[in-house]
Each structure stands twice: as C-alpha cells, then as structure tokens.
Amino acid sequence: MRASPRVVTRAQIEQAIWGDELTDSDALRTHISAIRQTVDKPFDDALLRTVHGVGYRLCPPNDA
C-alpha cells in the first residue's frame, strides 16, 4: 500500500514477504487471489490490478 499507485513487481513483493526464502511459485498468486476477493468485493472496479508482464498496482476506487 505504501507504493500505491506505483506498480510493484512480483519479485519486490516476494522479497518483502519471504526475503531470501524460496517459496512455491504459486504462493504469491494464491495470496493475491485471496486479497482480491476481500479488497475488491465492495467495489465495482478492481482495486488490485495486474499490470501484465510487470507486476501489480493498487488503484483508488473509480480510477481508470
């Protein structure tokens, strides 16, 4: 959230969460999915958006 609305790469997120520990390649995807189900639920548009080939960004409501 501190980086919002900048794009944060998958590697940056994994480093912030797990540090140098090796994780399952789907671990982050699973957590992102769970976060989306909770965070995006009350809004018409997704707040947590995938920037294909780059990473993720958290957008304010109604931001195109």
Instruction: Tell me which residue range forms the domain holding 44.
Output: 8-58
Asked if residue 42 belongs to a domain, the reply is: yes
List pLDDT tens digits, range 36-48: 999 888 888 888 9
pTM, two decimal places: 0.73
Asked if residue 49 belongs to a domain, the reply is: yes
What CATH number is attached to the domain comprising 17? 1.10.10.10
Asked if residue 64 belongs to a domain, the reply is: no
4 in Cβ contact with 58 (< 8 Å) = yes
What is the number of structural domains in the chain? 1
Asked if residue 2 belongs to a domain, the reply is: no
List pLDDT tens digits, range 1-22: 566 678 999 999 999 989 988 7
Asked if residue 28 belongs to a domain, the reply is: yes
Asked if residue 48 belongs to a domain, the reply is: yes
